[in-house]
Structure 1
Amino acid sequence: MLVAAAVCPSPPLLVPEVAAGAAAELEPLRAACAEAIAELVAAGPELVVVVGTGPEPEVWTEGGAGSFRRYGVALAVRLPSGGVDGPELTPALTVGAWLLDRAGVALPTHACAVPADSPAERMAGLGKGLAGLADRVGLLVMGDGSACRSVKAPGYFDERAEDYDAAVARALGSADLAALAGLDAGLGAELQADGRAPWQVLAGAAEGTALRARLGYQDAPYGVGYFVASWR
């Protein structure tokens, strides 16, 4: 059963070594992520599952490792799963593993990669399955909002992006499962919102569970929508 979830964005710039001279700009975001993960751990999960995008649907149950070498930083991380390195984590899952390591989380941890274009109904079913992996499951859900909030954004400016992100923020801040499940996959792809599929996994995992939600961060630095939320 799902007992808690932390929702965080997945930009590599969260890692100070990657951000380098711009590290201070995202310190409020790092602090919000740390707070959300602390609330996740405080809920007492016996298993944590990190969910993020990847080219192929995969679930890591025996460790998993990733690195930031592609960004010119000699930094490697792994899931806190008994010292087993396991297969290579996707970039989003690698940032999630870094957040857990930074927070000193030592709980058994699995990871789940989902393609960004996955159908909503499949994500809901996957979420239900993840919630049933243990009596007390916590999810760390990694994903960004639209990448089209300004002319300097990765996807350039799209006038629909602000409304899309506002709807996501409302849904994450109120645990509105129907709103998350109803996010349009086509629009999400056009706005380069890679969090859409992971958020719909969360909606499926939370179905039938009464959860309180808190939105801890909402902003669009670099023209990309970032959200941090805690569900208990």
Structure 2
Amino acid sequence: MDIEIIKCLKDNYSYLIIDKSTQGACVVDPSEAKPIIDTIEQKKINLKYILNTHHHYDHVGGNLELKKKYNCEIIGYKDDKYRIPEIDILVENNEVWKRDNFESKIYHIPGHTTGHIAFHFFKENKIFTGDTLFSLGCGRIFEGTYEQMFNSLNIIKKLPKNTEIYCGHEYTLQNSKFCKINDPKNIKLKNKIEKIKEKLKKNLPTIPSTLSEELECNIFLRAKDLESFSKLRDLKDNF
């Protein structure tokens, strides 16, 4: 399974998940269609599925154009039936979605939105976390509660430590500044920041991160309880 990281809009990432044996593909959170189409045509692959983590326009903006052009199916959470454009397949928490050679466990991880999900390709140790977990950060709480977001992050924390994290935005450097202020003695964080800067200088994505790195460096995953997490989230909102 190959993953193509595609930059969209200002700082969004969409991901093409390509089955090398068939050249079939899924796309995760296509915020706009053109960059996705360009990569599909260049790679000569067959787009079969659109996987949406949540309904926000910067994650579903390319749905309709891609569906019309490639006749692919759109997958999203059951409670977002009326919020994700032309959704075809409704998935539930802890369901294993399996089509062709693609197999992913669905986690309902509300907080950023009430219908947010993650797609965990457990055989490949890769998870697509949308706007719930970022590298060195977590999403703003728009529709859910602090408790929901804290619990959602705890679900991800229990995955194997070598799991690769593919998130929805290139926020890593900005997130690192907040982590550094609140965790100034963290040597592993300082080392990660240097690697982040090197990647960005080369115009490379800082994604994927690994769960192991996030557990060591992400201040939100290091919060011991709901109270401390909530305080951090409030501070970050005004950072």
TM-score (norm 1): 0.32
Greater Cα radius of gyration, structure 1 or 2: 2
More strand by share: 2
More helix by share: 1
